Amino acid sequence: MAERTRESFVVVGQSVRKVDGVGLVKGKPKFVADVDLSNVLHIKILGSPHAHARIVRIDTSAAAQIPDVVAILTHENTPSTRHTTAGQGYPEPSPYDARMFDTKVRFIGDRVAAVAAETAAAAEEALRAIRVTYEQLPAVLSIDEARAEGAPVIHDEADSTGIYEAARNVVADVDIDVGDVERGFTESDVVIEATCETQYAQHTPVETHVVHSYLDSDDRLVLRTSTQVPFHVRRIVAQTLGIPIQRIRVIKPRVGGGFGTKQEVLLEDIAGWVTLQTGRAAFISLSRAEEFVAARTRHPMRVRVKLGAKKDGVLHAIEMEATSNTGAYGAHGLTVLANTGSKTLPLYNKAKNAHFYGQAVYTNLPVPGAYRGYGATQGYFPLETAMDELAERLGLDPIELRRRNHIRAGETSPIFEKLGEGREGVSQTVKSCELEQCIAVGAERIGWREKRGTQRREGPWVHGVGMSIMMQGSGIPQIDMAAATIKMNEDGSFNLLVGATDIGTGSDTILAQIAAEVLGVPVSRMIVTSSDTDLTPFDVGAYASSTTYVSGMAVQRAAEKVREQILSVAVPMLKASVEDLRLAGEHVVGSGGARVSLAEVCRRAMYSSDQFQIAATASCVPTESPPPFLANFAEVAVDLETGRVKVVHYVATVDCGVAINPLMAEGQMEGAIVNGIGYALSEEMLISSTGRVRNPSLFDYKIPGALDVPNLEVILVGSYEPTGPMGAKSVGEIGINGPIPTIANAIYDAVGIRLRRTPFTPERVLTALEGERRRKGER
């Protein structure tokens, strides 16, 4: 077979329409809630009013008397199996510290009971009639309180497992060394240290968590759920409810956004239990307020970075120490913490000495989980602002400092091997990296040379520019697994069956493009079925920037097997040898120009001669995780009177290998960056002194709207990743890491203040400006 090159692609690299797009723009019933709900039981959950309390007694007798109430679930009548809600590979690296309903509540909004009723109104009325007696316990409301001597123990139960040190509220502890970091700092000419804190922030998919459950005609439990991880849902629900995996079918319809919060089994156990107990179809959907309080968030962190460099601007030592608040449960606690180091430190592989140390601690606060960026976002804030400071101390342009230190193709970092997804990592050499080009193109586009250091004034607004660079990964090496099945139909069309989970990312489309490329057909000839545990092969799901790289490779391999089968059928038809045949334009074409259509080939295989089903399944377990690379440049304006920060222009230049569908790759970047801008400037879950979320609405928790986004340019700087399908790497997460450090560095360029805590609200900016004025006045 001829080597594939970027130039030879026919379908890959084209911005074809989404395969599910027409139905979506017409508003067809594609989502979980879009079915007839006239005969379902409506489920509502009673959330805890206390941050930390034991349930002494639950009296449901009055609630049970309310008409139309069918079932009431509490810790007294549901399975008590400890599990994790984190939808990760098995065995999960998160502790088994959750129960369906526990005898203790650990944050405001934690599950106390649930009611299933004929109407939503009856279920809500019943919740109000449940009488709960609590024994309140002292609450832990910050990472400092969690680590204090004699702090209340949040997980004091005997049956939880996988917690690093429950008695001290420590969920996870990570400590890795390369070289000798202390000596590294001693040998350095310049040392910079910065500590940054990030806030509670939420994913806010426009569709909240929603599940529809029913028994099929064979009494199997069907869960139609808005999830990123259908196969993990099946496994974890089986474990939690104590029923065989075989009895459960999970179907993922279209999903209205995930971003990590749906990599979690939040409602499926309750809906499944109600359906199993009552035999009735059930429906549960979180209200927006419940989503804010009881769904997942990003892990708030305090991260300290220390950099040591020689006079020539080459890093000699890097230390990163992270403390992560993992809330009331430890879902993703270890792995997000580990990724704070593992997805950031390899970027600066010139440093011979490195140390990463971190702990994740429990608090009686909302529960963080997976969130796009997965710890790297929290790590890049101090790392990239410290690099900005280091450049200043060394008298170097920040771009030049990056150039002297960042990893390049053909290079490796010991961190790849030392630090992985909550355990040892996998050593790898970077094979594709166009970061230099990304930096050059972005700097040119933003006007770096003309604008940097000019502090241009426009009334009360002062302009500045900042930059940052970063990497992420493509899947979890030697852990993630994806499989794909392709079968052929006698009209020359193909079914593509993938466990891969399209949550709006467009993966159904790009996977169809990869298969179509191999099979020599347009995308319109691929019928995509994804994420149905009865129909499609296994895939870990949509997380860790894995789908394009891992699932894409499984699809490519399956397509190549099918291609071989097609050619073998065509050999006698064209009286040619296999080596002379290729697939193109829905035909098998011989070297002399003889051709036979795919439809004819399949009809022969199905009906006439040596019959068999042309079909194949293939899997992929990646052996490495090639990083995509990103350079960010922002021009901001800071209002000296109000402290408001406005992003005027944002340029993101990304190397994601070959973009299978360029418009969709840009879309991933644009969405991630705008989410990151919200994270940098406005988004913050405000929490009261008792642990209550004070702003659980999209009115009070401000995510960017169309008027809030800057002139945003995403530029795809192509490379070819030799280990990827069609040269591709991932692009799903990396963009969200950019805005915080880039905007922080641009603010410094404009007005000379270093902001260490997100979001950069007008209040925080004004306070910092006043501090800076005082400091200057004192001099």
Query: Which residues in this chain contact another protein in the complex, by CB under 8 A?
Result: 15, 17-18, 20-22, 24-31, 33-34, 38, 203-208, 254-257, 259, 287-288, 503-506, 663-664, 666-667, 670-671, 673-675, 697-699, 703, 705-707, 709, 712, 714
Min dist. Cβ of residue 302 to another protein (A): 27
Taking Cα atoms as reference points, which of 45, 36, 99, 39 lies closest to residue 71?
Answer: 45
Min dist. Cβ of residue 735 to another protein (A): 9
Q: Which two tokens stand for residue 447?
A: 């006007």
Min dist. Cβ of residue 71 to another protein (A): 23
Q: What are the phi and psi torsion angles at 211 (to 5°)?
A: -135, 140
Give yes or no for a contact between 48 and 69, defined as CB atoms under 8 angstroms apart: no
Give yes or no for a contact between 683 and 759, defined as CB atoms under 8 angstroms apart: yes
- Give Cα 397 to chain centroid, integer Å: 33
CB of 74 or CB of 661, closer to another protein: 661
User: What angle do helix axes 230-241 and 268-278 make, rounded to 10 degrees?
Assistant: 50
CB of 281 or CB of 338, closer to another protein: 281
CB of 305 or CB of 658, closer to another protein: 658
The residue type of 609 is: S
3-state secondary structure labels for all residues of 488-509: ECCCCCEEEEECCCCCCCCHHH
Min dist. Cβ of residue 677 to another protein (A): 9
CB of 31 or CB of 357, closer to another protein: 31
CB of 606 or CB of 648, closer to another protein: 648
CB of 17 or CB of 774, closer to another protein: 17
Min dist. Cβ of residue 170 to another protein (A): 33
CB of 340 or CB of 742, closer to another protein: 742
Residue 359 to residues 92, 168, 170, 259, 321, Cα–Cα distance (Å): 18, 11, 7, 24, 8
Min dist. Cβ of residue 469 to another protein (A): 20
CB of 146 or CB of 669, closer to another protein: 669
Taking Cα atoms as reference points, which of 405, 424, 408 lies closest to residue 416?
Answer: 424
Ramachandran area for residue 336 (φ above 0: left; ψ -120 to 50: alpha; else beta): alpha
CB of 8 or CB of 287, closer to another protein: 287
Min dist. Cβ of residue 705 to another protein (A): 5
Instruction: Please state, in angstroms and rounded to a whole number, the distance separating the CA atoms of residues 195 and 382.
Output: 6
Min dist. Cβ of residue 504 to another protein (A): 2
Min dist. Cβ of residue 704 to another protein (A): 8
CA angle (206, 236, 370) in 5-degree steps: 45
Instruction: Please state, in angstroms and rounded to a whole number, the distance separating the CA atoms of residues 90 and 96.
Output: 12
Place of tokens 């999970």: 250
Taking Cα atoms as reference points, which of 326, 368, 174, 201 lies closest to residue 757?
Answer: 201
Residues whose CB is less than 8 angstroms from the CB of residue 397 and which lie 6 or more positions away in sequence, other chains included: 391, 452
CB of 158 or CB of 707, closer to another protein: 707
The residue type of 514 is: I
CB of 158 or CB of 706, closer to another protein: 706
Min dist. Cβ of residue 202 to another protein (A): 10
Q: Which two tokens stand for residue 611?
A: 């019959």
Give yes or no for a contact between 460 and 531, defined as CB atoms under 8 angstroms apart: no
Instruction: Please state, in angstroms and rounded to a whole number, the distance separating the CA atoms of residues 684 and 686.
Output: 6
Min dist. Cβ of residue 435 to another protein (A): 22
Q: Per DSSP, what are the bridge partners of residue 486?
A: 496, 616
CB of 28 or CB of 774, closer to another protein: 28
CB of 134 or CB of 371, closer to another protein: 371
CB of 17 or CB of 408, closer to another protein: 17
| Collapsed DSSP state (helix, strand, coil) of residue 367 | coil
Alpha helices, DSSP H, located in 295-375: 333-342
CB of 10 or CB of 712, closer to another protein: 712
Min dist. Cβ of residue 643 to another protein (A): 23
Give burial (CB, 10 Å; 0-12/13-18/19+) of 387.
buried
Residue 246 to residues 218, 220, 238, 239, Cα–Cα distance (Å): 12, 8, 9, 12
Q: Which two tokens stand for residue 662?
A: 């360029």
Min dist. Cβ of residue 101 to another protein (A): 26
Buried b / exposed e across 85-124, counting CB within 10 Å, b at 16+? bbbbbeebbbbbbbbbbbebbbbbbbbbbbbbbbebebbe
Instruction: Please state, in angstroms and rounded to a whole number, the distance separating the CA atoms of residues 547 and 501.
Output: 8
Instruction: Please state, in angstroms and rounded to a whole number, the distance separating the CA atoms of residues 21 and 7.
Output: 27
Instruction: Please state, in angstroms and rounded to a whole number, the distance separating the CA atoms of residues 213 and 337.
Output: 34
Q: What is the CA radius of gyration of the chain?
A: 27
Min dist. Cβ of residue 507 to another protein (A): 11
Min dist. Cβ of residue 11 to another protein (A): 16
